[in-house]
Structures are given as C-alpha cells and as structure tokens.
Amino acid sequence: MKPKVYRLDGRKIKSVKDFYREIGRSVNGRGGYFGANLDALADCLRGGFGTPDDRPFEVDWDHSESSQRHLGGAFVDAVVEVFDEEGITLRLR
C-alpha cells in the first residue's frame, strides 16, 4: 500500500514553536496538534493523532535548509532521530 505523505513548508518554520505548528497543520489541518516537544512528537508518530491507522505514512520537509538556519542543526538532528526511532520516513528536501 502506498504511504500517505505529509508535507512541511520549511519557509514557515523560524522557531521550534513554528515547527510544531507546521507539522500539526500538515497532519491535522489548520490549528492541528502534533506534539509540542520531542516526547510528544514521538507519541504522535506512533499513531492516533491524525495519522492513518490503516496505512504507512511519511513526511517530506520541503525547504528544510531554511528551517535549519533558524532552528539550528541540533534540533533538526533530534527531530530526525525521533522519526528514525519511530520508523517513520522523514525526507529533508
């Protein structure tokens, strides 16, 4: 089964708060929740927070280089690690 792909617009991410707002919007629509810290992000990636229960999903982080300039490499690396630990594909584009 083809995975559902959620897209983050890195141009909208200039702070950690923006990151969580943008991933919440991508997965659950405007104003949607998808964590507010790395532990909550891991919980959300496990399912039940707007992700499909019946098929795999992936996340494409478009314009990730723009986000990385604002967030710093350590935060982005931590996010990548959470995705890896949960077995969810995250593509930095």
Compute how many other C-beta atoms are within 10 angstroms of the C-beta atom of residue 77: 12
The structure's pTM equals 0.93
52 pLDDT band (50/70/90 cuts)?
confident
> Taking residues 21-42, what's their average pLDDT?
95
Q: Where are the domains of the chain?
A: 4-92
Measured CA to CA, the distance from residue 4 to residue 70 in angstroms comes to 28
Give the architecture-level CATH label for domain 4-92: 2-Layer Sandwich (3.30)
For the beta carbon of residue 8, count every other beta carbon within 10 angstroms. Answer: 23
What is the average per-residue pLDDT within 67-74? 93
